[in-house]
Structure 1
Amino acid sequence: MKKYIYFSLVLVTQFLVSCTDVIDVDVPTADPRLVIEASLDWEMGTLGNNQSIKLSTTSAYFDNNSNDAVTNAVVSVMRLSDNMVFSFTNNNDGTYTTANFEADLNETYQLEVLYENEVYTATETLLATTPIKEVTQSEEGGILPDAIEVNVFFDDPGDEMNFYVLRFKTEGDPYPELRDVSDEFLNGNEISIFYEKRGDDEADELQPGDVVDINLFNVSERYYKFIQLLNSQLGSGNPFAPTPVELRGNCVNTTNADNYAYGYFRVTQTDKRSVTLIEMD
């Protein structure tokens, strides 16, 4: 009987192995495109002189070994009111930095990137941000029961349309979370936004001792819609949601429009707070 069972197991194993085929799937590829990460953030209470821009190229989905940093570009930003040019130093690692940027409210700035004999430009106006009034923590205002959430309060100015982006970054996490908010139905009122982390279990939630950095930005309507679309494609969780579309920013190739870039050029003032979470009673 034991020999019979052993022989049967051998036959089943051989059958399963013989039915295993390697299937080659052709994955569509495209020529690399320039990716521009140019967020010039002027934090309240600072001069805002130190700024950084990152350039890279797109790569194949399964290519984990390619170096996509762009190290042969020329980057500058011009203040259009007086044509003052701020040149960014090439650090040969994909980052371009300056320590001489002059941030002025309501001024319009133009980014220029010269890369492989093509010129990419983008324009944005530096808007004054609304200051954060208060940051609290609780376990009652979020979606998950008994989960810690961070609450941010700020006053929306009346008689004008405002668009906001809030950035939440928990120390140790690789990426921040962005929230897009407009004052369409809240004009002139206090606005409260909560942030909580969700995951497969309680260990993925915010914990006592976590440090959360918070940035509040007043942004242009175009950037607000850009982040709104980005968030809808990243976190809808809806199996019936529309197929994600190609997301382009405000960077335009003035030399060859067909060879467009990804990314966004943003110039904003920001109010920043950090909160260390405590044990709730």
Structure 2
Amino acid sequence: MKSIYKILFSALLLICTSCTDVIDVDVPEGPIKLVIEASLDWEKGTAGNEQTIKLSTSTPFFDKDGNTSVTGAVVQVTNDNDGTVFIFEDQNDGTYDTSSFIPIIGNSYSLEVIYDGDQYAATETLFSVSDISSITQSTEDGDDEVLEVNVSFQDPAGVENYYFLRFQSRNDLLPELFYIKDEFIDGNEAPFYYEKIEDEEENIEEFKPGDIVDIALLGISEDYYNYLQLLVEQFEGAGDPFSPTPVALVGNCINLTDPDNAPYGYFRVTQKVQDSYTFE
């Protein structure tokens, strides 16, 4: 009987040791694409002349090379209403700067990027944004006894408006994003609030006195509103087994040379107001 046990143990040991072989799995990789981060945000009360566009490339998931900056591209933005061209100078670190941009409400702007033999383009219109009426704190709108920051603004009556509202806690890496259509708030004071519910597993802490939140409100186009809607839905659904499979979001930038090789990213031109709030 002992011999049978020894034989069974030896067989089990052989099976376990045989499972230590390294298995190489080929992970499919998509083509390397240009990533365009072109957010020309004009803060109310400033000239808005200094703007930056960032170019980089996508990378395979397991690529350890962190340098994806794109240099040597030709970047310019044109005011389609009067033909003025703004050249963005290569800073040799993936950023392209100008100090001559002129933002004009209601005007259309076109982006052109020439890189690696391909010509990329996008068009956006600059929309105005309402001022922030008030920023306060309370514990009334969300969960009881949880601090929240309250923001409100007056929406113009009879005008179709779209907004992008961003809250960034200085204690957190990622912001809280709201995409807003004035369908149900047209001509009214529009209140919004942001709170954090404590979650030890997600390492989320409630707001407490002394915490600072940076707030930005931007006037955006309908196209960018739709893009944000998809972006936020995918972000909030990450990790949910019942959510749709995330897909690469296609922005408004196109490749005129090779339409099948569209870039990632978005070209937006917005007016914004921003402020910060410190909890008491």
Shared fold, TM over 0.5: yes
Q: Which residue is 1:270 aligned to?
A: 272
2:131 matched to 1:135?
Answer: no
- For residue 229 of structure 1, give the secondary structure of its aligned residue in structure 2: helix
| Aligned pair partner of 1:239 in 238, 241, 247 | 241
Aligned to 1:49: 49
Instruction: Give the letter for the 1:158 counterpart.
Output: A
Q: Is the contact made by 2:34 and 2:263 (CA closer than 8 Å) also made in structure 1?
A: yes
| SS of aligned partner of 1:188 | coil
Q: Give the distance between the partners of 1:192 and 1:177, measured in 2 at CA.
A: 16
Structure 1: segments with no counterpart, 5+ residues: 1-11
User: Which letter maps to 2:109?
Assistant: Y
Residue matched to 1:173: 172
CA contact (8 A) 2:196 2:204 kept: no
Equivalences for residues 186-265 of structure 1 within 5 A: 186-198=185-197, 200-201=199-200, 204-236=205-237, 238-265=240-267
Match of 1:34 in 2: 34
Q: d(CA) in 2 for partners of 1:55 and 1:205?
A: 36
Tell me, in whole angstroms, the C-alpha distance in 2 between the residues paired with 1:82 and 1:30: 40
Q: Secondary structure of 2:132's partner?
A: coil
Q: Does 1:154 align with 2:153?
A: yes
* Paired residue type of 1:48: G
Alignment of 1:82-101 (within 5 A): 82-101=82-101
Q: TM-score, normalised by structure 2?
A: 0.88
Q: Which amino acid aligns with 1:159?
A: G
Distance 1:16 1:235 in 2: 41
Superposed displacement of residue 66, structure 1 = 3.6
Deviations along 1:92-124, whole A, 9 cap, x unmatched? 111111111111111111111111111111111
Matched residue SS, 1:264? strand
Aligned CA distance change for structure 1 residues 26 and 186 (closer, same or farther; 3 Å): same
Provide the secondary structure at the position in 2 that maps to 1:268.
strand
Alpha-carbon distance change, 39 to 199 in structure 1, aligned in 2, over 3 angstroms: farther
Deviation at 1:198, TM superposition (A): 4.6
1:212 to 1:19, Cα distance in 2 relative to 1, 3 A: same
Once residues 14 and 199 of structure 1 are traced to their aligned partners in structure 2, the CA distance between those partners, rounded to angstroms, is: 49
Query: What 5-or-longer segments of structure 2 have no aligned partner?
Result: 1-11
> Structure 1: how far apart are the matches of 2:206 and 2:13?
43
Bigger drift between 174-183 and 121-130 goes to 174-183
Summarize the Cα distance change of 1:172–1:94 in structure 2 as closer, same or farther, 3 Å threshold. Answer: farther
- 181-190 or 39-48, which deviates more: 181-190
Give the aligned partner of residue 117 of structure 1.
117
Partners of 1:79 and 1:204 lie apart in 2 by 45
* 1:65 maps onto 2:65 in alignment: yes
Runs of 4 or more, structure 1, over 6 Å off, are 12-15
Q: CA deviation at 1:19?
A: 4.2
| 234-243 or 126-135: bigger deviation | 234-243
* Counterpart Cα distance in 2 of 1:226 and 1:198: 27
SS at match of 2:230: helix
Which residue of the partner structure matches residue 5 of structure 2?
Answer: none
CA RMSD of aligned residues (A): 2.3
